[in-house]
């Protein structure tokens, strides 16, 4: 027979405290007016308190019946009720929801807005297609490996970042009670050489196309028009990085003066960069404009008008049986410029590289762009490169 009575419970609701009924069942009344039935059990030598429900909705008799059922479930059926409840909660929180909430709570403390944008974009491009709608509680090491396998060797650094970010989201979900266990570790099943193969050194995967082969490649590239192929051609002609092309919007271009101003949050160094557009680059924009989608301002859109993934550009190369890396075209451009005798400082400015010498950086303020009446060295450089690239067309 329990110690509490219906009258005693009614009186207790107005007085904060803990009221024992017996066999682990007790009533908890807090200072804010909340009142809850709890069942205390011992499991594996540890004390655990399990909530049964609000005392304002559940009577003493109903709480006792519920407690008896839970004790049977735990002692006779040997079920871990708390883990089951966590899994039930996790079933309501998908990986996409957890990732966006983690990003929202942490982005203010990250090193830059560029990093914050890249962090979420990497999951949108590589993790969400397979894990986005999956409950956080049911994601296993095998699921993560399935996401990473297509990019593990092709873009190893990005793949490692995606792995670490997936694990961070799953650990966050565990801390929130959406997942009953921590994420698989990058030191165990997700480590290279265990669940994932050892990665080939990145320098072997970032091969650059010899610049003498670029004109013929662009001719072949133009045989099957697509946003992916246009984006890759534009990347080659402008000497920029992949993300700067993939995120480009029409508002960044001033076609009257043939300039493309890439915003700081699209740049690796977090500083805005101006690219003079050659005649060849302008021709690519004309083609892209002819295919322009009304529902997006992205110049080279991917699925649903959103920026295409980095894998899209790499896939163009692989479909054409080219063993080179997208980033390698910046090296092709550099080698060509050196052979043509363009000054290193002009080429480095075109590539938006940081000046390594601090003294030079302090005094070198020129952008080599010149004026409308007197084009600078970078304008001449990009026009010459563009003409060379399309010389076989």
Q: Which of 178, 204, 230 is the last residue of a domain?
A: 204
Q: Which of 204, 225, 240 is the last residue of a domain?
A: 204
In this structure, are 182 and 274 located in the same domain?
Answer: no
- The answer to the question of residue 183 being in a domain is yes
- The answer to the question of residue 147 being in a domain is yes
In this structure, are 17 and 74 located in the same domain?
Answer: yes
In this structure, are 240 and 368 located in the same domain?
Answer: yes
pLDDT at residue 324 in the model: 92
In this structure, are 193 and 323 located in the same domain?
Answer: no
- The answer to the question of residue 249 being in a domain is yes
pLDDT at residue 203 in the model: 45
| Cα–Cα distances in angstroms (integers) from residue 130 to residues 125, 126, 127, 150, 302, in the given order | 10, 8, 6, 12, 17
In this structure, are 380 and 237 located in the same domain?
Answer: yes
In this structure, are 365 and 263 located in the same domain?
Answer: yes
In this structure, are 140 and 178 located in the same domain?
Answer: yes
CATH number where 150 lies: 1.10.150.130
pLDDT at residue 364 in the model: 41
pLDDT at residue 258 in the model: 94
Q: Which domain holds residue 101?
A: 95-204
pLDDT at residue 157 in the model: 84
- The answer to the question of residue 50 being in a domain is yes
Residues counted in the chain: 393
Residue 9: closest CA among 53, 55, 50: 55
Q: Which of 204, 239, 272 is the last residue of a domain?
A: 204
pLDDT at residue 365 in the model: 45
- The answer to the question of residue 301 being in a domain is yes
CATH number where 65 lies: 3.30.160.390
Separation of alpha carbons 13 and 7, rounded Å:
10
Separation of alpha carbons 265 and 262, rounded Å:
8
Q: What is the 3-state secondary structure (H, E, C) of the chain?
A: CCCCCHHHHHHHCCCCEEEEEECCEEEEECCCCCEEEEEEEEECCEEEEEEEEECCCCCHHHHHHHHHHHHHHHHCCCCCHHHHHHHHHHCCCEHHHHHHHHHHHHHHHCCCHHHHHHHHHHHHHHCHHHHCCCEHHHCCHHHHHHHHCCCCCCCHHHHHHHHHHHHHHHHHHHHCCCCCCCCCCCCCCCCECCCECCCCCHHHHCCCCCHHHHHHHHHHHCCCCCHHHHHHHHHHHHCCCHHHHHCCEHHHEECCCCEEEECHHHCCCCCCEEEECCHHHHHHHHHHHHCCCCCCCECCECHHHCECCHHHHHHHHHHCCCCCCCCHHHHHHHHHHHHHCCCHHHHHHHCCCCCCCHHHHHHCCCCCCECCCCECHHHHHHHHHHHHHCCCC
- The answer to the question of residue 85 being in a domain is no
- The count of other CB atoms within 10 Å of the CB of residue 3 is 12
- The answer to the question of residue 177 being in a domain is yes
Residue whose entry in the numeric block shows the structure tokens 């000046």: 355
Residue 332 in contact with residue 211, Cβ under 8 Å?
Answer: yes
In this structure, are 195 and 239 located in the same domain?
Answer: no
For 77, residues 6+ apart whose C-beta sits below 8 A from its C-beta are none
In this structure, are 228 and 305 located in the same domain?
Answer: yes
In this structure, are 133 and 249 located in the same domain?
Answer: no
In this structure, are 134 and 19 located in the same domain?
Answer: no
In this structure, are 185 and 237 located in the same domain?
Answer: no
- The count of other CB atoms within 10 Å of the CB of residue 285 is 19
Instruction: Indicate the number of domains in the chain.
Output: 3
pLDDT at residue 363 in the model: 36
328 CB-side CA count, 13 A: 22
CATH number where 266 lies: 1.10.443.10
- The answer to the question of residue 293 being in a domain is yes
pLDDT at residue 183 in the model: 86
Q: What is the pLDDT along the chain (393 residues), one digit of tens a residue?
A: 578 888 898 888 888 999 998 888 999 998 888 898 888 888 777 788 888 888 888 898 898 988 888 888 877 777 776 666 665 655 679 999 999 999 999 988 887 776 788 899 889 988 999 999 999 988 998 999 999 998 888 888 888 899 999 999 999 998 988 887 888 875 667 876 677 888 776 444 458 899 999 999 999 999 998 999 999 999 999 999 999 999 999 999 999 999 999 998 888 878 899 999 999 999 999 999 999 998 899 999 998 888 998 789 999 999 999 999 999 999 999 999 998 989 988 999 999 886 544 434 333 445 788 777 788 899 999 999 999 999 876
């Amino acid at each position: 027979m329990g110690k509490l009575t219906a009258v005693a419970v009614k009186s207790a609701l107005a007085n904060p405290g803990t009221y024992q009924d017996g066999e682990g069942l007790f009533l908890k009344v807090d200072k804010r007016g909340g009142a809850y039935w709890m069942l205390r059990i011992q499991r594996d030598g540890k004390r655990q308190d399990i909530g049964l429900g609000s005392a304002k909705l559940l009577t003493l008799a109903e709480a006792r019946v519920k407690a008896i059922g839970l004790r049977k479930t735990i002692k006779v059926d040997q079920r871990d009720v708390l883990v089951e409840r966590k899994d039930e909660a996790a079933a309501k929180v998908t990986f996409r929801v957890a990732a966006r909430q983690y990003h929202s709570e942490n982005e203010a403390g990250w090193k830059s807005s560029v990093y914050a944008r890249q962090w979420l974009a990497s999951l949108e491009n590589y993790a969400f297609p397979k894990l986005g709608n999956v409950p956080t509680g049911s994601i296993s090491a095998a699921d993560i490996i399935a996401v990473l396998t297509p990019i593990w060797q092709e873009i190893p650094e990005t793949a490692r970042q995606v792995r670490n970010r997936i694990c961070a989201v799953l650990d966050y979900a565990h801390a929130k009670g959406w997942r009953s266990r921590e994420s698989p570790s990058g030191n165990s099943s997700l480590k290279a050489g265990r669940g994932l193969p050892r990665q080939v050194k990145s320098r072997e995967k970032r091969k650059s196309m010899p610049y003498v082969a670029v004109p013929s490649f662009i001719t072949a590239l133009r045989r099957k028009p697509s946003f992916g192929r246009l984006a890759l051609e534009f990347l080659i002609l402008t000497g920029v990085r992949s993300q700067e092309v993939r995120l480009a919007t029409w508002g960044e271009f001033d076609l009257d003066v043939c300039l493309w101003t890439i915003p700081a949050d699209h740049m690796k160094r977090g500083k805005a960069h101006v690219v003079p557009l050659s005649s060849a680059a302008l021709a690519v924009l004309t083609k892209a404009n002819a295919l322009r989608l009304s529902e997006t301002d992205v110049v080279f859109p991917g699925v649903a008008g959103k920026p295409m993934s980095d894998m899209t550009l790499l896939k163009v190369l692989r479909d054409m049986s080219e063993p080179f890396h997208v980033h390698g075209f910046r090296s092709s451009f550099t080698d060509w410029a050196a052979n043509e005798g363009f000054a290193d400082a002009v080429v480095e400015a075109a590539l938006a590289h940081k000046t390594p010498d601090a003294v030079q950086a302090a005094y070198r303020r020129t952008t080599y762009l010149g004026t409308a009446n007197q084009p600078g060295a970078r304008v001449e450089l990009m026009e010459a490169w563009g003409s060379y690239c399309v010389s076989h067309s």
